[in-house]
Amino acid sequence: MTEEASAPRLGAGIRRRRRSLDLTLAEVAAATGLSSPFLSQVENDRARPSMRSLQLIADALETTAVQLMAAAENPRRVDIVRADADPGLDPATRVRPLVRGHHQMHALEFTGDHDADRAFEHRNDELMYVADGTVEVEVDGRTHRLGRGDTLYLTGGVRHRWRALEQGTRVLLVAVADHVEATTDPRG
The residues facing 106 across adjacent strands are 175
Ranges 15-19, 87-91, 184-188, most confident: 15-19
Please tell me whether residues 117 and 42 are part of one structural domain.
no
Q: Count of domains in the chain?
A: 2
Please tell me whether residues 106 and 177 are part of one structural domain.
yes
Residue 166 domain flag: yes
Please tell me whether residues 63 and 116 are part of one structural domain.
no
Residue 127 domain flag: yes
In this prediction, residues 37-57 reach a mean pLDDT of 91
151 vs 89 pLDDT, higher one: 151
Please tell me whether residues 121 and 179 are part of one structural domain.
yes
Taking only Cα atoms into account, the Rg of the chain, rounded to an integer number of angstroms, comes to 19
- State residue 76's pLDDT score: 54
φ, ψ dihedrals at 11, nearest 5°: -55, -50
Closest CA to 112 of 93, 128, 137, 89: 93
Please tell me whether residues 127 and 62 are part of one structural domain.
no
45 vs 8 pLDDT, higher one: 45
CATH number reported for the structural domain that contains residue 137 in this entry: 2.60.120.10
Please tell me whether residues 99 and 174 are part of one structural domain.
yes
DSSP 138-152: EETTEEEEEETT-EE
Please tell me whether residues 159 and 102 are part of one structural domain.
yes
* pLDDT, the chain, mean: 78
44 vs 78 pLDDT, higher one: 44
Residue 76 domain flag: no
The residues facing 138 across adjacent strands are 143, 161
In this prediction, residues 82-102 reach a mean pLDDT of 60
Residue 52 domain flag: yes
Residue 25 pLDDT greater than 90, yes or no: yes
Q: What is the pTM of this model?
A: 0.51
Residue 81 domain flag: no
Are 180 and 106 in contact by the 8 Å Cβ rule? The answer is yes
- Segment 128-169, tens digit of pLDDT: 899 999 999 999 889 999 999 999 998 888 888 898 998 889
Residue 75 domain flag: no
CATH number reported for the structural domain that contains residue 8 in this entry: 1.10.260.40
Residue 14 domain flag: yes
Are 128 and 137 in contact by the 8 Å Cβ rule? The answer is yes
Residue 91 pLDDT greater than 70, yes or no: no
> Which structural domain, as residue segments, surrounds residue 24?
3-70
